[in-house]
Amino acid sequence: MALLADPDAPTDIARRMARILPARLAEKAGQGRLFDVEVVSEPFTSGTEDPPTLMRRIMDRGSRENWDVVVALTDLPLHSGGRRIVVDLSHEHGLALLSLPSLGGLRLQTRALRAVEEAVLGLAGPHATGTEGPARSQPFPGPFAARLTPVHPGPIGEEETADLRYVVSGPRGYLRVLVGMVRANRPWRLVPGLSKALAAALATGAVATVNSTTWSLAEALSAPRLVIAMAGSIALMIGWLIVDGELWHRSTEGSPEARQRTRLYNASTVMTVGIGVFICYGGLIVINLTWALFILTDRVFASMTRTPLDATEYVTLSWFVASVATVGGALGSGLESDEAIRAAAYSKREEERRHLLRGDQPAT
């Protein structure tokens, strides 16, 4: 069998999975059956997000390689009839197409492993040959039909390759897919890509920390105003990164599914960049606090503000300086061309995968 995975996160998940999957499948299948798992990383979703088209691509790929079972993993959110697809299965051809974002953002590796196990055992079992009735009538237990999740069977067109489909729908399903997309974006990898903005922010913070006007402002501001300053500076940085990096997705299609996909793409981009910026903001607070503890003295601070320099003043000053520094980092630096930042947007990853499919870059 083969795990056919899109580049980046799906490939990483497939490779980790392949180390333990053969033994787990052999144990659960019983009857002395053995499984040989091959991982193939290629951008099979490039240029389309249409599930029937993707299933045909997977079927053609499996036929060329003579694989018995093919499970394809993608980090794209797949849609059909307004519903978000978890998995498409074709028992006749031994195919499964799994959309990782639909598994949610928590314990993704574990959920993906369980999902692939269920898919392979279902496709390789007796019902896959049609000896126990139509494949579409067969239950598919495990993570897809878990009682407390919004996953349920979905309709399939008569001309589609798939004969069984599981989908998520409703607000819970939307939130599940959105969180899964943010998890697939790996927002923590954004921080190294913000080196230029961070350098400007650190310089701004270092100067602001020793400025008496900043001391007076920090001491005078109430907690609600500090929260507003924090929210405004973070929002400014998020907007700057998205605009300057051209991360906002604009669909050229007018269909409801295209509009729904665009909303998901942009929401996941804002959340991913927001998490990355928030991590940087927290780091700035820690660095500013360390710098203030090292450089400031109670006598000088009290002479300028008429307030003793205690723990509360240190924290308040570091918090306010982090907001000032974030604005300085956003406005005072140009965005570096970094793949970690571009990977925060699904549309940018799609462009890169099209280049890979054309052979412009070597696939990994």
| Residue 345 near residue 217, CB atoms below 8 Å | no
pLDDT tens digit sequence for 146-182? 544 677 888 888 888 899 999 988 888 889 899 998 8
pLDDT over 50 (residue 119): yes
pLDDT at 69: 94
Overall pTM surpassing 0.95 (yes/no): no
pLDDT at 95: 94
| pLDDT bucket at 106, cuts 50 / 70 / 90 | confident
pLDDT at 351: 60
pLDDT over 70 (residue 360): no
| pLDDT bucket at 131, cuts 50 / 70 / 90 | very low
pLDDT at 191: 80
Q: How far apart are CA 12 and CA 73, in angstroms?
A: 11
pLDDT over 90 (residue 30): no
User: pLDDT over 70 for what percent of the chain?
Assistant: 83
In the chain, the largest separation of any two C-alpha atoms, in whole Å, equals 88
pLDDT tens digit sequence for 51-104? 899 999 999 999 999 999 999 999 888 888 778 899 999 999 999 999 999 998
pLDDT at 3: 95
Q: Provide φ and ψ at 64, rounded to 5°.
A: -65, -35
3-state secondary structure the chain: CEEEECCCHHHHHHHHHHCCHHHHHHHHHCCCCCCCCEEEECCCCCCCCCHHHHHHHHHHHHHHHCCCCEEEEECCCEEECCEEEEEEEECCCCEEEEEHHHHCCCCHHHHHHHHHHHHHHHHHCHHHHCECECHHHCCCCHHHHCCCCCEEECCCCCCCCCCEEEEECHHHHHHHHHHHHHHHHCHHHHHHHCHHHHHHHHHHHHHHHCCHHHHHHHHHCCHHHHHHHHHHHHHHHHHHHHHHCCCCCCCCCCCHHHHHHHHHHHHHHHHHHHHHHHHHHHHHHHHHHHHHHHHCCHHHHHHHHCCCCCHHHHHHHHHHHHHHHHHHHHHCCCCCCCHHHHCCCHHHHHHHHHHHHCCCCCCC
265-282 mean pLDDT = 91
| pLDDT bucket at 347, cuts 50 / 70 / 90 | low
| More confidently predicted of 362 and 230 | 230
